Amino acid sequence: MSPILAGVLQLMALIAALALAYRPLGDFMAATYSSKKHLRVEKAIYRCIGANPDTEMRWPAYLRGVLAFSLVGLLFLYLLQRLQGSLPLSFGFASISPDQAFNTAASFVANTNWQSYSGEQAMGHVVQTAGLAVQNFVSAATGMAVAIALVRGFARSRTGELGNFWSDLVRGTVRVLLPISVIGALVLVACGAIQNFAGIHEVGQFMGGSQQTGGGAYASQEVIKELGTNGGGVANANSAHPFENPNAFTNLFEIFLILVIPFSLTRTFGKLVGNIRQGYAILATMGFIWLAFTALMMWTEFAHGGPALQAAGGAMEGKETRFGIGGSAIFSVATTLTSTGAVDSFHSSFTAFGGGIQLLGMMLGEIAPGGVGSGLYGMLVMAIIAVFIAGLMVGRTPEYLGKKISTREIKLAACYILITPTLVLGFTAASMVLPDALGSMLNTKALGAGSHGFSEVLYAFTSGANNNGSAFGGLNANTPWYNTTIGLAMLLGRFLPMVFVLALAGSLSEQKPIPETAGTLRTEKPLFAGLLVGTILIITGLTYFPALALGPLAEGLS
């Protein structure tokens, strides 16, 4: 079987699996967030944290819950790392330095999982499981809660209420993420992933000698890092490590885990607003962009010229032979179009245009299908911009899902869109003029000159501010400058957009729905989906094209 055919068959199998899961999972999540009943374990959690799950919150109270919970998680994870040297099951690893502990705590609380350290050489079992794995669950559940709050803003009339954050957080964790993670971990263990709390021991090498390797809860953390679109692995090699991702089947299964909740949330959205076709329109937009990016990535990697590359079936540098070009390309697009950041190949070794596709996927805002929760609310903000543009074209006040899009809503949506580019381009520009920051570029010319060196820095801040977490390689990010600035980019890129999303949800929920008329834009039709795709690409292109031209485009055309 040719490598190209193998890649196409993997893509078809993935689409089929996602289609089978779409309706039952989407309906289940809709029922989960609209149910009036609480499970016994949920009631116990509410008593422990002192929350009343039946109290409705307006958007300021909902936001305070999000920020307070995340701040506690940030402080707890920071202290856990700083005290690691005194904790059991730490392998004798020293405590993490202050700047790196801040960076890692910010990373996992912000659902980014950027790692400026080698996981198996820095973090013991307690930090990995009680700290990092816990945040993989709750940071994903926080994103889902904010998305559901925005959906309620469209669905509710003149209440100003968005539900209860603590109830949404607990339900997302207990009813959605935890059951799927248990099943997924069993699948990975059955397929060869490891799951233990073993210490470090010596293992022999094929060419003689030995090396040290440690055990860990690889399977359980691998599942939630993909399912929650987190991305941080136990091992430095991430999902290219055989302990985390043993074979081609587990590779495809992990891609499925990355995509299944973000895509299925469009069904949840349609159910909660009472119009399934609206969910299908958002699904079609996400699916079109994802398929187009996947096809482009496979083409750039398979078609790369040269006798050696042609003999290997494509650009195999930096890719696992277990997965090949097709599996690596599909994984790469899935992880950069969501906020996952997990990698099964070395992104810096992709072709120049392949690296540009990875960058562009994150620059879109990771909305196709995007992160767990964040992809849906990001796409709905873009839909508001699209109906505003359509309203300008026909001279009519824009409406979406029966709600008028007034000056207030457009200002909030515009602020949402401007935050991430400001962080990415601002921090990248600062890094390109500071000698210490330039000195962190390890595989380029003196002081990091060259388009690839620029791409390394641009990728780092794009990944951080968009809460992705993958790295382009070749950049020593474990320095005070990068640990601090990328940490700030992750926190601001995660929580500032949530402020505007919840304010937008509150504004929408205070409105009375207006009836459809002959002049109402039909946002469930293919025409609107096409307009939405065009809006996303134009806004992203106008924002980032100069930076892309200096980086991957310049390298690819040289």
Ordered mean pLDDT values, 10 residues apiece, the chain (558 residues): 89 97 98 95 96 96 97 96 89 89 95 86 89 96 98 93 97 97 97 86 68 82 96 88 94 97 98 96 97 95 67 75 92 94 89 90 94 96 95 86 94 96 95 84 54 88 94 84 94 97 97 85 94 96 92 82
Residue for token digits 């016994």? 40
Position 311 scores a pLDDT of 60
* Sequence letter at residue 285: T
The CA distances from residue 164 to 66, 298, 393, in Å, are: 11, 43, 38
The model carries a pTM of 0.94
- Specify whether the CB–CB gap between 244 and 238 falls below 8 A: yes
* Packing angle of the helix pair 526-548, 352-363 (nearest 10 deg): 120
Task: Report phi then psi at 265, rounded to 5.
Answer: -65, -20
Position 447 scores a pLDDT of 40
* Secondary structure tally for the chain: helices H, strands E: 21, 4
Chain centroid to Cα 112, Å, comes to 7
Burial class for 430, CB neighbours closer than 10 Å (0-12, 13-18, 19+): middle
Q: Report residue 99 as tokens.
A: 């700047």
DSSP letter, residue 65: H
Dist. CA 497–CA 420, nearest whole Å: 8
Burial class for 446, CB neighbours closer than 10 Å (0-12, 13-18, 19+): exposed
* Sequence letter at residue 120: E
User: Residues for the chain: how many in total?
Assistant: 558
Q: What are the residue ranges of helices labelled H in 476-516?
A: 480-509
- Specify whether the CB–CB gap between 164 and 504 falls below 8 A: no
In 3D space, the residue among 389, 404, 392 whose CA is nearest the CA of residue 517 turns out to be 404
Is residue 369 reached through a cis peptide bond, with omega within 30 degrees of 0 on the bond before it? Answer: yes
Dist. CA 318–CA 322, nearest whole Å: 12
Q: Report residue 463 as tokens.
A: 């990944």
* Packing angle of the helix pair 134-155, 480-509 (nearest 10 deg): 30
Position 442 scores a pLDDT of 66
* Packing angle of the helix pair 98-109, 59-82 (nearest 10 deg): 140
- Specify whether the CB–CB gap between 3 and 325 falls below 8 A: yes
- Specify whether the CB–CB gap between 267 and 27 falls below 8 A: yes
Q: Report residue 280 as tokens.
A: 């299908």
Position 255 scores a pLDDT of 97
Position 446 scores a pLDDT of 41
Cβ-proximal residues to 462 (8 Å cutoff; 6+ apart), any chain: 359, 362, 363, 424, 468
Q: Report residue 111 as tokens.
A: 């659902």
Query: Which stretches of 285-437 are assigned E, i.e. beta strand?
Result: 399-400, 403-404
Residue for token digits 């899009």? 405
In 3D space, the residue among 238, 234, 332, 288 whose CA is nearest the CA of residue 7 turns out to be 332
Dist. CA 551–CA 558, nearest whole Å: 11
Position 307 scores a pLDDT of 56
In 3D space, the residue among 194, 166, 190 whose CA is nearest the CA of residue 68 turns out to be 166
399-400/403-404 β-pairing: antiparallel
